[in-house]
Structure 1
Amino acid sequence: MPINAEYRGPGELPEVIPVFPLPGALLLPRGQMPLNIFEPRYLAMVDDSFRDGHRLIGMIQPDATHSRNEAKPALFRVGCVGRITQLAESGDGRYILELTGIARFKVIEEIEALTPYRQCKVDYFPYVDDFTARKGEEAVNREALLEVLTDFLKVNNLKVDWEGVESAPNEALVNALAMMSPYGPPEKQAMLEAPDLKTRAEILIAVTEMDLAKKRTSGDPPLQ
């Protein structure tokens, strides 16, 4: 596999991938997720991904509502595979890495593996559009998205690089805001499973509007 890999379709990705269950973590195609890896099983996962040459990790959320085993929680059926595009050693046994999203997947089954980390057989074909950059972004209501972002920043006394926001394409803007949003696993999963970018933006707007309404009526303090 070349250092700079480009994936043009589902057939270019392996059917079995290591998965990293992490609640509240949302990775989307072409999005960048920083990770601080310190558990021995996930250090081994990173080492093996380089040894195997693919540098791929499937990000997926544990499904708390269906989990009976805390040591091995049930998983949601949809995740997103990413490629390690940056990696640094911390000097104290940790890896600091950046994962760049490639495509979402559906879990077919979890396989019995001898590795300390979990592995799943997955299917990328339901999300074939993920391989096309900026697919459907013309349908996004950018004005509504920026309006709710402005309200969110004001209520929570936060600032943002508006120059960067205004220059970002719709896909990058929607996905970055979704990934950085402070919402819980159900909301993150809904945004992950959205059938298209327009729907993902609509979910993000709706969830944010509900959060803002709750803060205004309850007098909750702003985020710190």
Structure 2
Amino acid sequence: MKPWHPLPDQLPAEIAVFPLSGALLLPGGRLPLNIFEPRYLAMVLDSLAEGRMFGMIQGDPSRPRRADGGSAIFGVGCLGRLSSFAEMEDGRLLITLTGVARFQVMEELPMRRGYRRVRADYGPFLADLEPETLPVPRADILQAVRPFFAAKGLEVNHEAIEALSGHALVTTLAMVCPFTVAEKQALLEANTLPERASALLALLRMGALGGELPPDARPS
């Protein structure tokens, strides 16, 4: 599929958001999602009819939960565009969300059909819409990947990882590695690709020393 590069004025000011702690979407990344809760089925179907976009954002475990039981959310998320969609016989939706641009939450809006919505400001992150050309320490990252996954007891396709370009390597590893919620948020909020690559490299090297996997991602 040909990449979609929107202009700033094509980014929606009001968006649905899917709060999912432990799930990270970055610009240019592809996040597969299995949608089964009624409120998020409604969100996806509404998004299909309204530009095919909604935001991914993490719940913030450091802040009290809302009065309705929902989690507090971080102040920065990432807008995604539905790039694939399949409906299962049991009613589930299997979708892929491709990251477009990060956004800052300006205010939370009234819920619609049970799902949450926010007013988004993309101003601080308009560089996400431009092709990424800055260099990253690709060789260092590849060297750190094997001991990291070995320490976590995870099997991965290293040939596929080694075939990725610098930008895709950083984005893919930041999204798929079992980092904590706070670590994933720090990767999301890194100002530039080199800064994200530097943070990723530090996390890979620290993770190789051992440690527990974070809890499974849970929608909020």
Give the TM-score taking structure 2 as reference length. Answer: 0.89
Q: Could you tell me which amino acid in structure 1 is paired with residue 160 of structure 2?
A: G
Counterpart CA distance in 2 for 1:34 and 1:5 is 17
**Cross-structure match for 1:22:** 20
Secondary structure class of the residue paired with 2:62: helix
Deviation by residue 1:54-99 (Cα, 9 ceiling, x = unmatched): 1111000011111233722111000001011111111101101111
What pairs up with 1:120-159 in 2 under 5 angstroms?
120-136=118-134, 138=135, 140-156=136-152, 158-159=154-155
Instruction: Give the C-alpha shift of residue 4 in structure 1.
Output: 7.0
**Cross-structure match for 2:218:** none
Instruction: Give the C-alpha shift of residue 106 in structure 1.
Output: 0.5
What pairs up with 1:1-224 in 2 under 5 angstroms?
6-52=4-50, 54-69=51-66, 71-136=69-134, 138=135, 140-156=136-152, 158-215=154-211
Q: Could you tell me which amino acid in structure 1 is paired with residue 197 of structure 2?
A: A
- Answer 1 or 2: which has greater helix percent: 1
Instruction: Give the C-alpha shift of residue 156 in structure 1.
Output: 4.2
Aligned residues: 212
2:84–2:96 CA contact under 8 A, matched in 1: yes
Secondary structure class of the residue paired with 1:22: strand
1:9–1:128 CA contact under 8 A, matched in 2: no
Instruction: Give the C-alpha shift of residue 164 in structure 1.
Output: 2.9
Deviation by residue 1:95-132 (Cα, 9 ceiling, x = unmatched): 01111111110001111244310100001121111111
**Bigger RCO (CA 8 Å, 6+ sep):** 2
Instruction: Give the C-alpha shift of residue 30 in structure 1.
Output: 1.1
Counterpart CA distance in 2 for 1:157 and 1:49 is 38
Counterpart CA distance in 1 for 2:124 and 2:33 is 27
- Answer 1 or 2: which has greater strand percent: 2
Q: Could you tell me which amino acid in structure 1 is paired with residue 204 of structure 2?
A: T
Counterpart CA distance in 2 for 1:162 and 1:113 is 42
Higher-Rg member (1/2): 1
Counterpart CA distance in 2 for 1:56 and 1:4 is 17
- Runs of 4+ deviating beyond 6 Å: none
Q: Could you tell me which amino acid in structure 1 is paired with residue 52 of structure 2?
A: R
Give the TM-score taking structure 1 as reference length. Answer: 0.87
Counterpart CA distance in 2 for 1:166 and 1:113 is 43
1:105–1:124 CA contact under 8 A, matched in 2: yes
- 1:135/1:107 CA distance change after superposition, 3 Å: farther
Instruction: Give the C-alpha shift of residue 199 in structure 1.
Output: 1.1
Which shifted more, 161-170 or 9-18? 161-170
Counterpart CA distance in 1 for 2:65 and 2:161 is 42
